Structures are given as C-alpha cells and as structure tokens.
C-alpha cells in the first residue's frame, strides 16, 4: 500500500498515480490541499524523504514570491509556511514502508 500526497490538478501528480496503478499498487490518496498535513506529519515526511524543508518548497508559487522569497527562514518557519499554504508543498509525494519519494519524475515512485 502506497500513500500518495496528490493534487489532481497537477499533471505530474496524475502521471505518478498512473505509474502506481500500472504497477498494480494499492494507493491511498491524500489530497493534501484539502487534507493539510499537520506539522508533525510534515516533519515525518521530510525525515522519510531525508531532505530539509527548503527542498520541499515550491519556490515558483506566487504565495512564496510574495511572502517568503529572500527571507532567511528556519526549518520550523518553512514547515509552518507549507502548512499555512499547502500549495507550497512539492508534489506528488509517495510513501511506502517508512520511505518516501517525490514523484518528479513520476517513475521515482517505482523506487519504493
């Protein structure tokens, strides 16, 4: 069973879901824009991805450019920014057996 943090409006997210379906993988979909992860959940995801929060931020989003760009934010502040503005969370994120990958490219999910 794979959990997919998914945005159905994102082509990469849709492609990643299709890769999982094509591999006959059972998928639990979390539409993270509607079901925003908690701070603790996001910290767990970052730990599974083994990356700092900054690497999970979508810096081309308008909300980033308008509110955060150029600021020296701590890890906690970056996590709070993503929780308060879930559009900033890079997508899609697939999780399985305590490991996580970002589906960029979508085939990355096959590494789980």
Domains and CATH numbers, the chain: 2-111 (3.40.30.10)
* pLDDT value for 36: 97
Averaged pLDDT, 29-48: 98
User: Any idea which residues carry the catalytic annotation?
Assistant: 10
pTM: 0.94
Task: Check residue 110 and give left, alpha or beta (phi > 0: left; psi -120 to 50: alpha).
Answer: alpha
**Confidence tier at 91 by pLDDT (50, 70, 90):** very high
Averaged pLDDT, 33-55: 98
- Helix intervals (H) in the chain: 11-22, 39-49, 62-67, 75-84
């Amino acid at each position: 069973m794979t959990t997919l943090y998914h945005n159905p409006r994102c082509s990469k997210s849709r492609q990643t879901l299709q890769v999982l379906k094509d591999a006959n993988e059972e998928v639990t979909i979390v539409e993270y824009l509607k079901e925003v992860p908690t701070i603790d959940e996001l910290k767990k995801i970052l730990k599974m991805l083994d990356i700092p929060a900054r690497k999970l931020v979508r810096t081309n989003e308008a909300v980033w450019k308008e509110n955060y760009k150029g600021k020296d934010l701590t890890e906690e502040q970056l996590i709070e920014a993503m929780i308060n503005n879930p559009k900033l969370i890079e997508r899609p994120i697939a999780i399985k057996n305590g490991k996580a990958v970002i589906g960029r490219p979508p085939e990355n999910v096959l590494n789980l």
